[in-house]
Amino acid sequence: MLELRDVSRRVSGVDHLSGISIRLERGALNVLLGPTRAGKTSLIRLMAGLDRPSAGSVLFDGQDVTGRPVSKRNVAMVYQQFVNYPGWTVRENIASPLKVRGTAPAEIEREVKRAADLLRLRELLDRRPAELSGGQQQRVAIARALVKKAGLILLDEPLANLDYKLREDLRAELPRLFADSAAVVVYATTEPAEALLLDGVTVAMHEGKVVQAGPTQSLYREPQDLATARIFSDPPINTIPAAAAANPARFAGATTLAVRAHHIRLQPRSASPDVYVTQVESIEINGSESFVRLDVRGQHWVMLARGIHAFAPGTSLTVYVEPEDVMQFDAAGQAIRPRREAA
Amino acid sequence: MKPVNQKAWLLVAPVLLLVAISAIIPLMTVVNYSVQYVGSTGRFSWVGDEWYREVLHDEKFWNALWRNLVFSGLILAIQIPLGVLIALNMPRKGWGVPACLVLMALPLLIPWYVVGMIWQMFGRVDIGLMGVMLRDFGYNYEGDPMDAWFTLILMDVWHWTSLVALLAYAGLVSIPDAYYQAARIDGASKWSVFRYIQLPRMARVLTIAILLRFMDSFMIFTEPFAVIAGGDPVFLSTELKQTVELGKKAAMSIIYFLIILALCWVFYAVMTRNDGEPGAADQKQTKGGGA
C-alpha cells in the first residue's frame, strides 16, 4: 500500500502540489485523473522518489520512504514517450531490470518469454525499438515494467502518444496485464473515458490538489463538488445558475446546476422534464453521434445526441433535461445530494 | 506483356539533365583528360592508362596520400571525442545556452583562408603568440615539416571541433527527459547513461559529423595553402596543385575522388550497419532524435 500524508511540493515559490493525502491499495488500478498541469506528473515523480516532497511523508507498506532515492525503491515507470534502450533488442530491453538485479539467465529467459507472451511481443524479440511501431514500443516499455516485479508501477499517460486505434487496443488490455501483479499500480490520464474503462479507483486532481478520491464509478456518478464533475466530464459538463433554470423551484438551495452532455435530450423521458428553448450555435458530427453546441439563456452547452442531425446554426431547438440527471451544487461548489423520495 | 509507358522518361528528364550538367559531364571531362596527352598546341592524343600508372608509381603521391590519411585519422580521433565531451558539458537551459552556441559557432563563421592566415600569424616564431611561446621548445613551422603538421592539426581542431560539438549537442537535446528519469529508476551510472542512452541516440548525428569531418579534412587545401604556401608537408590537394601536366592532374583527381568515395562508403556502411529502418510510427515527441 502506498500512502501519502499531507504531501506538498513547492518549486521556486510556486505550489506544484499542496496538502495531498491519499492511500492507494495493491491490486487495484489507481487512476490519477485531471487536466494537463493538474499536478499528475509532479505527484508521480514524488511517488517514484524522483523528487522529494517539500512537506509531508510518503509511506510504502507502512514504512516511511520519504527521501529514499529512486534507485533504492524498486519502482517501475512507463512514460508518455516510448522509453527503451535504443541500442538493445526487445529481448535485452525487457531483460534489463533483471540483469541489473543479477537474476539467473534461465530465469531471465523465462520471465522475458512470459512478459513477451502477455504483451504479444513474441515475434519481435530480436528487433530494436526503432524498428517497431509506437504501440509495440510502448508494449516493450510496459513489459520492462512488468518483469521488474516492482512494488510500485507508475504509468504517466502511457497511451497519449499512440494513435486512436492502438490506444483502444492497449487500453483494453491494461487491466488484465496488471491484474495479477501484486504491485500498487498508478495510472495518470487526462481522459475521463480512460478512467471509466480502467475502472478501479480514481483520484481526481485539480491545480495541484486532490479534489476527490474513491471508487471510479461513484466519483463519476456522485462527484462531491463541481471541480470533480468538471474533471470527470468529456465533453465538458454543462452548467447553469440555479436561478436561470427552467424550473428553479425544483432546485431550491442550489446555486449551480450541472448536467452531462448525453443527458440533454431531444425527447422527454418522463412526464415532467425541464424544458429549455435553445439556440443552435454549431454542430459537429462524428459518424454516429452529433455534438450540438447550444446557447441556453447565455450559457454555452454541448448536447451529445445519437445519430446524425442537421440543425442549422441560429435555429431554435427545444431540449429536455430530466430532474434526476441534474447535479446540484451550493455556492461553494459542494454537491447537494437530492433526496429522491422527497422530490 | 504490359505495355511500357514511355512518358515516364519525360518526367525524370529534368533530373537527368541536372545531374548530367552538375556531375556527370564535368567528371567525364576529367576522365577524358586523364587518358590523353595534351600537347602545347592543344592537340589531344590517346595515352590510355599511362597517366594512372605514372601517378601510382610516383612516390610523392603515396607520401601525400599517407599524410592525408594520418591527418584525417588524427583529426577524427581528436575532434569526435572532444566535440562529444564539449556537448555533454554544455548547459541545457538558461542564458548559458545561447552564449555557448554563439561562441561555438564563431570559428565556423570565419572564412577558411582567413583561418589559415590567422594561424600563420599565430604560429610565427618572431611575432605570433603561439610561435613565441613554443619557440624555446624548438618550434618553427616554417623550417620543420613536423611542426607545420602539428600547427595544421591544431588549427583544424580549433576550426572544426565546434561543428562536431554542435551536432552532438543537437543529438543530446533531442533526448527526452524521460530517458534520464528511466535511467535513474534503473540505477544506471553516468557511464551507462552515456553508453546506452546518449551515445546510441547521438549515433546518427555523429555519423554525419564523422563523414563531414573526414571528407573536409581529407580534402584540406585552403588552410595549408595559406599557412605554409603549399610547401611541406604536402597533401594530395597541394600536390595536385603543383602538378603541371593536365593529364596527370586529371588522373590524380580521379584517383583522389575514388579514394574519398570508397572511404566514405566504408564509413557509412560500418556506422549504419546496425540501423533498422526508422519505425513508421516513430515517436511523435522525440522528432530529431532519429533525424
pLDDT in tens, B221-270: 877 777 776 556 677 787 777 777 888 888 888 998 999 889 888 888 88
Average pLDDT, chain A: 90
The full length of chain A comes to 343
Taking only the tens place, the pLDDT of each residue in B256-279 is: 899 988 988 888 888 777 554 443
- Whether B200 and A87 lie within 8 Å, measured CB to CB: yes
Which residues from chain B sit within 8 angstroms of residue A161, using beta carbons?
283-285
Q: Does A267 touch chain B (CB under 8 A)?
A: no
Distance CA A173, CA A198 (A): 9
Tell whether B37 is covered by a domain.
no
The pairing of beta strand A238-241 with beta strand A256-259: antiparallel
The pLDDT, as a whole number, for residue B278 is 42
Contact B196 A87 (CB under 8 A): yes
pTM of the model: 0.74
- pLDDT tens, residue by residue, B129-164: 888 888 888 787 777 778 888 888 999 999 999 999
Per the structure, the count of domains in chain B is: 1
**pLDDT given for residue B280 in this prediction:** 35
Cα–Cα distance between A291 and A287 in angstroms, integer?
11
Q: Percentage of chain B surpassing pLDDT 70?
A: 91
Q: Do the domain assignments include residue B127?
A: yes
Residue range B6-18: mean pLDDT, rounded: 89
Tell me how far apart the alpha carbons of residues B53 and B62 are, in angstroms, rounded to a whole number: 13
Contact A307, A313 (CB under 8 A): no
The pLDDT, as a whole number, for residue A343 is 38
Fold of A238-329: OB fold (Dihydrolipoamide Acetyltransferase, E2P) (2.40.50)
In a domain, B22, yes or no: no
Q: In B, which residues are within 8 Å of A85 by CB distance?
A: 196-197, 200
CA distance A67 to chain B (A): 14
Mutation test of the interface with chain B: which of A52, A71, A81, choosing the one with the most B Cβ atoms within 10 A?
A81
Give the A:B interface size as CB pairs under 8 Å. Answer: 80
Burial string for A146-157 (b: 16+ CB within 10 Å, else e) reads bbbbbbbbbbbb
What does the pLDDT look like over B165-218, one tens digit per residue? 999 999 999 898 889 988 888 888 889 899 988 998 888 889 889 989 998 888
pLDDT by residue (tens digit) across A200-221? 899 999 999 999 999 999 999 9
Q: The CATH number of the domain where B100 resides is what?
A: 1.10.3720.10
Least confident segment among A243-257, B31-45, B147-161: B31-45
Top CATH class of A2-231 equals: alpha beta
For the question of an ipTM over 0.85, the answer is no
Residue B221 lies in a domain: yes
Contact check, Cβ <8 Å, A127/B286: no
Distance set, CA B110 to CA A68, B106, B158, B160, B237 (Å): 52, 7, 11, 11, 21
Region of poorest pLDDT, from A130-144, A316-330, B39-53: B39-53
- Say if the Cβ atoms of B186 and A97 lie within 8 Å: yes
The contact set of B with A (CB < 8 A) is 176, 178-179, 181-182, 184-187, 196-197, 199-201, 274-286, 290
What domain range is B82 assigned to? 58-289
The domain spans of chain A are 2-231, 238-329
Q: What angle do CA B231, B236, B239 make, to 5 degrees?
A: 45
Among partner residues B196, B278, B285, which is closest to A130 by beta-carbon distance?
B278
Residues 69-128 in A contacting B (C-alpha not used; CB under 8 Å): 70-72, 75-77, 79-83, 85-88, 96-97, 100, 127-128
State the pLDDT confidence band at A338, using cuts at 50, 70 and 90. Answer: low
Asked if residues A191 and A234 have their Cβ atoms less than 8 Å apart, the reply is yes
Chain A residue with minimum CA distance to B276: A131
